[in-house]
Amino acid sequence: MSLNRCEQRVFDYLQSHLDERHYWQGKFQRVTQDAADEHVAIERLERELWRYYQERSAVVVTFKEAAAMEGLRRTSMKNLAELLLRLWIGPKPKKKTAASNSSAAD
């Protein structure tokens, strides 16, 4: 999976800041439990990751420098949300269909 520069910056930051990573891991768990499905969770987390990027751009040097050079035009964080969901939450077990249940009984 390819991350854009903003996504990569957030990913690297979370990898190097344990407290921030733990916070986001908890957030991912809560959102995925509350969301109707994975797509809804990804959309919500993508928006929250962008807000986080904007907030960090006011206080963290690497984010500040990037914002000064690149600006803070809205950038997608969908690939990052999908990647972190896979890394931290993992795939949900697939529901068994009626066809697979009947063949298992045979």
Picking from 100, 95, 87, the residue whose alpha carbon sits closest to that of residue 45 is 87
pTM of this prediction? 0.82
What are 75-85's pLDDT values in tens digits?
Answer: 999 999 999 99
Evaluate if residue 100 carries a pLDDT over 80: no
Q: Quick check: 36 and 89 in contact, CB under 8 A?
A: no
Task: Classify the C-alpha dihedral 92-41-12-23 as positive or negative.
Answer: negative
Evaluate if residue 103 carries a pLDDT over 60: no
pLDDT confidence of residue 105: 52
What are 40-70's pLDDT values in tens digits?
Answer: 999 999 999 999 999 999 999 999 999 999 9
pLDDT confidence of residue 90: 78
Q: Quick check: 77 and 7 in contact, CB under 8 A?
A: yes
**Cβ atoms within 10 Å of 102's Cβ, excluding its own:** 9
